[in-house]
Structure 1
């Protein structure tokens, strides 16, 4: 058995040593080259790896996938199934440690997997580890400043840091870009630049979000004369557009070199995961298809709600309504047409009465009850007193006058 741990297409066996017959031979009965099938690794190929693409081969020893894990899997070898949350386990947790709440997805450790952010870890940096390019590449004694340095997850931006992208000297224009892999609704982009050059090298900075590569048709940020005194490093550009390609360009000369640069330490493109929306991607939307993206601001689904859900954002469960009478429930008429049961309010009858009120249409005041104990709890449905009534009153809410018959 010959162990190689190498990659290749051709196997060649040679010999240049004479035998007793003063000749050189290659005399083989069989040559078998063992390879683990796609999706397996280990000494006997018995371990499984779930890579991003079904055709990706993971490392034969470690199981590490070349471009990341498939959806629902995590770990070095991409074989740990991620926990889920929400109704019918519709959403994937992205906690780095601990567990996630089965209803909201909030992580007990408050730590997210790399590339994920937000209080429930549902805000994804879709630029992380994606394919990048730049118009030229700077090089010095510390090495070359490659374009992928801006999507490696390292936001260090100290002035002497050498793992930031950097275009070459002597250019009259410069550009950098990333292919997100698919079109996303891009809400905002966070940019880290080197502290040493954040002021002068961002004069002329422009940012584009396009559906086609390097077309620079849709400027998200027009030309900017960046002022580091007014903005912190790690500044956010708000876009609210849709696109697959992010391009950053510059055509303003940098003093004292009289060259134009794009010099970036990290570019993060934030997108809510499928089925979430809102500023921090913490609100849930249950669309007809589990792969449908709702509007990142309103939560409105592109087609209709999933069965059993209603509301503008498709996040009101039909069985959670408290309608007075049976009422159809879908995206167009999920409201309770005949009103709510006592103690409930709103178009869908999912909100309890405002504090201090109870009963039918939530118009009865808790202050009008005649409870024997002050500041007693007021049930939203019937206003019941937690104790006895004052003399002369009866009923759950002590609102009925009780007249005793004379002996």
Structure 2
């Protein structure tokens, strides 16, 4: 299935021979979190999780973002500033640089966390890459690597401790998003494979980073492998319609265009309605004319019909007398001739 294309803006691309070196797409990108610990204090700011620093993973080392820990939900996200072909996501949780504390007190804050990729800041509009349902405070790793083959712009870290929900033993009472670094890696547009070194099919803008299946064609091409060239006339027509629609929505010229469009549409509607009514009236009159039975008259009625309609009652007496006289005279003439 071919999905809609997006405009891609990539950072500097690094190559090592024929192998593409993955970039950390999240590095120094815009971030946000719902409830920061000590708001306004840069030691705990959301941007610390994308500063590229991982040498001090303690809560007060200035390289981690901390949440207040007073709420039942915790949300943090990074805006990659464009839609990318994401391959995997790497998360460094806070560990306070102390293995004992890390294993006994801190890790329980992260149990049950989820990671989403979305094209908006709403996680429910996106794709769930990972939801922890198996880790315990003794098994969760310090660094979690999450494969997530998807296209998206926002990477969202989420955790919750909802009321009236029974969580496994060892979970914290409130939700936290204490993370020290989030790294997002991709394949360069037009390549796929384990080392992102295999080219996508011709005329394919980007393909599945593992299988190479085309997911978005270059303009002017279509088909599962972008092998079908669109007709130039149709493409130009579609582009012209899109441009006109944009003008209609965003400029003063669009106001005139909308007025003309709706005026023409209204005139066509009135014309069609009037003609339809006229045709219906003509058809009804014609139908009545065909089904109307002509009245029975004296010239065309049979004696039975005339008797049924009492026509004889209206014949003048003089006519009856003349008829009788005529019959008698004719008989006499015949008798004389025979004689």
Q: TM-score, normalised by structure 1?
A: 0.42
Compute the TM-score of the two structures, normalised by the length of structure 2.
0.50
Larger relative contact order (CA 8 Å, sep ≥ 6): 2
**Which protein is bigger by CA-based radius of gyration?**
2
Counting helix residues as a fraction of each chain, which structure ranks higher?
2
